[in-house]
């Protein structure tokens, strides 16, 4: 598998890390190799996914949405996973892996606080002390998530260097990992970072796609014509797509946040669409497509959906986009807000603003026939966390 090729997807991915970090990533590589197929590990993870996280999640036939767009629309209900999003699939997997590897401390970094919260849940449930680095600015903006993490016994460490946001928190987490690798696992939240993270996170999130495959065969007796998922770092997208990659008749759409820009390939407008307008470079240990200026400085991303606000995208998605197996697309803030409103009214489901970007692509593409007759949309999370943002925009 990819492990053999040192975590390369074509020319993307790899391990672009300072020498001091090599022992840590090597050890993780070894640990994952040792336990990924271990029957006891798999059985224990299955147990947590089922009884703690609430899996399998339903594949829901969105009847009224289907009628409106004239195609059969299914929603994969990751919004029903404990915590309200797919993130727990990965944090449970990595926390359990850490335990099997004999690590007794988890660290993570978080921007808006969603990944920190999912890590806190896994850490509390498995009884592993957890510390989360968070920019001081983000701490002020996301008080409720900080409180959630603290309730679950996680220590939130404010980062006051640089811009006091996610990228500074990442630097601090890396520094911590280098100094404490013996007892500490660094729990990364998406399919980004140096090998083996993109592979590990993909494997843990593939539970989504595996369930979809089984469920759609049961309901329709055949595979869907297309699958749509929103893409920040790319973990819910690759997790949904991965089991379908050999099924080339299934079209896979990775929808990025186009920010406030509409239908543009202008970088200034497409604020977080790394696959669409990013350029090749190295970010956080991997070669991939990133938003950067002509001098290689990383550009900050801007999206109404905090979870899509990342300047890079996972190396495997970059590779799959380059080979044409997945189709990158993007939808704007306004299109996502319209989809948010539509799903709430028509199906009684309030979607996360991230997931609303995937839903918006249905409205955008349904008329062209490119989606075919049966489409699955991964509803990566629920929208309760986004009500304030939406209210401010005056949509409701
Ligand atoms: C974090 C998050 C995302 C983006 O992360 P990916 O790694 O791209 O999946 C998407 N949707 C929701 C609901 C999230 O919380």
pLDDT for residue 3: 42
Query: Cα(196)–Cα(272) distance, rounded to whole angstroms?
Result: 24
CA of 368 to the centre of ligand 1 (A): 27
Nearest residue (by CA) to ligand 1, atom 5, is 232
190 in contact with ligand 1, CB cutoff 6 A: yes
Ligand 1 contact, 93 CB (< 6 A) = no
Give the pLDDT score at 5. Answer: 56
Cβ 312 under 6 angstroms from ligand 1? no
pLDDT at position 271? 56
Candidate ranges 18-27, 116-125, 138-147, 265-274; pick with highest mean pLDDT: 116-125
Residue 191 Cα: closest atom of ligand 1: 7
pLDDT in tens, 15-59: 999 999 999 999 999 999 999 999 999 999 999 999 999 999 999
Q: Is 381 in the pocket of ligand 1 (CB under 6 A)?
A: yes
Q: What integer best gives the mean pLDDT of the chain?
A: 93
Of the residues 81, 313, 380, which should be mutated to test ligand 1's pocket, given the most ligand atoms within 8 Å of the CB? 380
CA of 19 to the centre of ligand 1 (A): 31
Out of 353, 354, 379, 385, mutate this one to test ligand 1's pocket (max ligand atoms within 8 Å of CB): namely 354
pLDDT > 90 in the chain, percent: 83
Most ligand 1 atoms within 8 A of CB, residue of 121, 208, 232 to mutate: 232
85 lines ligand 1 (CB under 6 A): yes
Q: Is 245's pLDDT higher than 70?
A: yes
Q: What is the pTM of this model?
A: 0.94
Ligand 1 atom closest to residue 382's alpha carbon, by position in its atom list: 13
Nearest atom within ligand 1 for CA of residue 189: 7
pLDDT higher than 90, residue 277:
no
Q: Indicate if the pLDDT at residue 352 is higher than 90.
A: yes
- For ligand 1, is residue 114 a contact (CB within 6 Å)? yes
Structure confidence by residue, pLDDT tens digits, 303-350: 899 999 887 899 999 999 999 999 999 999 999 999 999 999 999 999
pLDDT of residue 262: 46
Q: Which residues pair with 292 in a beta bridge?
A: 298
Q: pLDDT tens digits, residue range 60-108?
A: 999 999 999 999 999 999 999 999 999 999 999 999 999 999 999 999 9
Find the 232 Cα to ligand 1 centroid distance in Å.
Answer: 6
pLDDT confidence tier of residue 275, bands split at 50, 70 and 90: confident
- Kindly report which listed range (96-110, 128-142, 289-303) carries the lowest average pLDDT score: 289-303
Active site residues per annotation: 87, 109, 380
- Is residue 230 within 6 Å of ligand 1 at its C-beta? yes
Would you say residue 264 has pLDDT above 70?
no
pLDDT at 396: 52
pLDDT of residue 261: 60
Q: Is the pLDDT of residue 1 over 50?
A: no
395 falls in which pLDDT band (50, 70, 90)?
Answer: low
At 211 the pLDDT is: 99
For residues 132 and 119, is the Cβ–Cβ distance under 8 A? yes
């Amino acid at each position: 598998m990819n492990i053999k090729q040192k975590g390369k997807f074509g020319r993307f991915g790899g391990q672009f890390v300072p020498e001091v970090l090599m022992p840590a990533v090597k050890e993780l590589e070894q640990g994952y190799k040792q336990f990924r197929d271990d029957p006891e590990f798999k059985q224990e993870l299955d147990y947590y996914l089922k009884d703690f996280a609430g899996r399998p999640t339903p594949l829901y036939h969105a009847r009224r949405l289907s009628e409106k767009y004239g195609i059969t629309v299914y929603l994969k209900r990751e919004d029903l996973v404990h915590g309200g999003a797919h993130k727990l699939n990965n944090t449970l997997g990595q926390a359990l892996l850490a335990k099997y590897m004999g690590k007794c401390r988890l660290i993570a970094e978080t921007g808006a606080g969603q990944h920190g919260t999912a890590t806190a849940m896994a850490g509390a449930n498995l009884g592993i002390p957890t510390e989360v680095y968070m920019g001081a600015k983000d701490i002020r903006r996301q008080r409720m998530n900080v409180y959630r993490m603290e309730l679950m016994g996680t220590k939130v460490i404010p980062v006051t260097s640089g811009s006091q946001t996610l990228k500074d928190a990442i630097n601090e987490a890396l520094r911590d990992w280098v100094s404490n690798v013996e007892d500490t696992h660094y729990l990364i939240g998406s399919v980004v970072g140096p090998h083996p993270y993109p592979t590990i996170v993909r494997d843990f999130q593939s539970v989504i796609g595996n369930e979809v495959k089984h469920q759609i065969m049961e309901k329709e007796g055949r595979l869907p014509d297309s699958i749509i998922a929103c893409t920040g770092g790319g973990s819910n997208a690759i997790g949904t797509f991965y089991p379908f990659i050999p099924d080339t008749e299934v079209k896979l759409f990775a929808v990025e946040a186009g920010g406030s820009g509409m239908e543009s390939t202008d970088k200034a407008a497409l604020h977080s669409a790394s696959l669409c307008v990013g350029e090749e470079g190295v970010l956080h240990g991997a070669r991939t497509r990133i938003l950067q200026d002509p001098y290689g400085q990383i550009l900050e991303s801007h999206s109404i959906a905090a979870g899509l606000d990342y300047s890079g995208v996972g190396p495997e998605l970059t590779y799959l986009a380059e080979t044409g197996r997945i189709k990158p697309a993007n939808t704007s803030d306004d299109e996502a807000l319209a989809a948010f409103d539509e799903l709430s009214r028509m199906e009684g489901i309030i979607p996360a603003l991230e997931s609303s970007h995937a839903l918006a692509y249905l409205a955008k593409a349904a008329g062209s026939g490119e989606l075919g007759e049966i489409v699955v949309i991964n509803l990566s999370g629920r929208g309760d966390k986004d009500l304030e943002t939406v209210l401010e925009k005056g949509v409701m």
